[in-house]
Amino acid sequence: MQASRILVTGANGFVGRALSNELVRHGYDVCCAVRSISSATRQSGKLVEVGDIGRKTNWYEAVAGVDTVIHLAARVHVLQDTACDPLAEFRAVNVEGSEKLARDAASAGVRRIVYVSSIGVNGNYTEGVPFTEKDNSAPYDAYTVSKYEAERAIFSVADQTGIEVVVLRPPLVYGPGNPGNFLRLLKMVERGIPLPLASIQNNRSMIYLGNLVDALITTATHAEAGGKTYLVSDDEDISIPELIRQIACLMGRQPRLWAIPLKVLRIAGKVAGKSSELEKLVGSLVINSSKIRADLGWSTPYTFDEGLAETVKWFQSISGKHQAP
């Protein structure tokens, strides 16, 4: 499938910036939908301001002449969410906004929309058996419920209009510029904060930013991707203690890990109301991403070691630290 003009929503975000820049490098005509042009930075491609995303968003200028839409824009996890009804807030952006985009895109003659969902649609953790595309959906919070409902809404539009839909469900994304939990982990290791995780024996799937960008371009352009849902991750899984050790090594530091029994950690997490956050550190979440590899011949262009090294290198550049010789 040839795609001459591609619209990237959420183009000012962590993934969106990297994706739009890579698409331009590959020679595509890229339209970058952003909430506000005044806040857009480091974008390649034409900027189109769409404002807040919801059921009333006017996408017509953004989708005009576009072959393919890669939809990244979303309301994401909010720390200490103060909304009276968080699920309603997530639905307004992630479900109603995505459905409106799909309908406007179909009306404008867009051939395909690639929707970036979340592995959380499958569930919060795995026990021995990796997640696959065949699993029953098990979203576990307001955010993941909204992402699952958005998938269903977009596929419903496809059934009604004929627009092709591809859904990607990535796990935690890491790479230069990353915000959120991974950045907090980098800061804790760099500051030498002792972490009570030495006894944790888990496995986590993640995906490097460059690998996700490559998967997005593949699913946007491959003729066989239409109508499919894909789980996507790096080739390698890693335990959280080993991840901390590797980060510390790249920083030229000693990892500061100490052991607390897992049962005690989980009790402490429950008492603090942080069970969900804790589970992302101590639980396993493993993805089987063989379907996208078999269907589309996709493979990760970067190894885990390469991705982690680039991420730490970026972090040291912004923190003013330098790797020890």
Q: Which residues are catalytic?
A: 143
**Encoding tokens for residue 142?**
């307001």
| 84: number of Cβ within 10 Å | 7
Identity at 203, one-letter amino acid code: N
Burial environment of residue 217 by CB neighbours within 10 A (0 to 12, 13 to 18, 19 or more): buried
Report the C-alpha gap between 204 and 293 in whole angstroms: 19
DSSP assignment of 29-93: EEEEEES-GGG--S--SEEEE--S-STT---HHHHTT-SEEEE-------TT---SSHHHHHIII
In a 3-state reduction of DSSP, which class is residue 185?
A: helix
End-to-end CA distance of the chain: 48
* Tokens found for residue 32: 């970058």
